[in-house]
Chain A
């Protein structure tokens, strides 16, 4: 259970193109979803937190007008990289935390479930 589907898995496009990445939970609902960026040989860096029905919260240094997040439903969030440039090339990963945990269910503190990431290469 707790499967998160993310696509596309990789994108190569020209500078100036806008790219949309989709993140969907297949067997659970999530009010809150997270978007991360990971550069080669580095750790994951949180970009933004999105809540269904409200505006996303962006981390310091992340341009909200460049990285548009739409949390359309309890099972779908999208990240659009607008007018992408080579410096935006990275590995983008979404995650969700399931809602509605049953009493006594383990683990007690609900972990995140991650998509398999999108490799974005801007030429």
Chain B
């Protein structure tokens, strides 16, 4: 299983760009990288998914280097409402085990 490692916590200020890196040294060829956001007392919400290079949507960007052993979630100009726990998961929907294993996540605190 492709285990993921993330920083336990990060602090930022409103308006700053936040980059959260996830290490997944054992990523398999068919594995995708998916990031979720979780607010207290809520279920996780899908943020972004990628396989290689860069993916961007309306809320975030995901940078994946050529070796795919890590990925970086980039949140532009964070606000207080971005305070949450962010999880990265690695896996292949045809081999669901990895996609269901949540690591510790990164607790992001955005300050005014």
| Complex contact B92–A109 (CB within 8 A) | yes
| Complex contact A114–B44 (CB within 8 A) | yes
Name the one of B49, B101, B105 contacting A107, with C-beta atoms under 8 angstroms: B49
| Complex contact A34–B100 (CB within 8 A) | yes
Q: Which chain B positions have C-beta within 8 A of A34?
A: 100
Distance, CA A107 to CA B99, complexed state (A) = 14
| Complex contact A93–B49 (CB within 8 A) | no
Measuring CB to CB, which residues of chain B are less than 8 angstroms from any residue of chain A? 32, 34, 36, 41-46, 48-51, 87, 91-93, 96, 99-105
Measuring CB to CB, which residues of chain A are less than 8 angstroms from any residue of chain B? 4, 6, 32, 34, 36, 43-46, 49, 91, 93-95, 97, 106-117, 119
Q: List 28 A-B contacts (CB under 8 A).
A: A4-B43, A6-B43, A32-B96, A34-B100, A43-B104, A43-B105, A44-B44, A44-B87, A44-B102, A46-B100, A46-B101, A46-B102, A49-B100, A93-B43, A94-B43, A95-B43, A106-B49, A107-B48, A107-B50, A108-B32, A108-B51, A109-B91, A111-B46, A111-B49, A112-B44, A112-B46, A114-B43, A117-B42
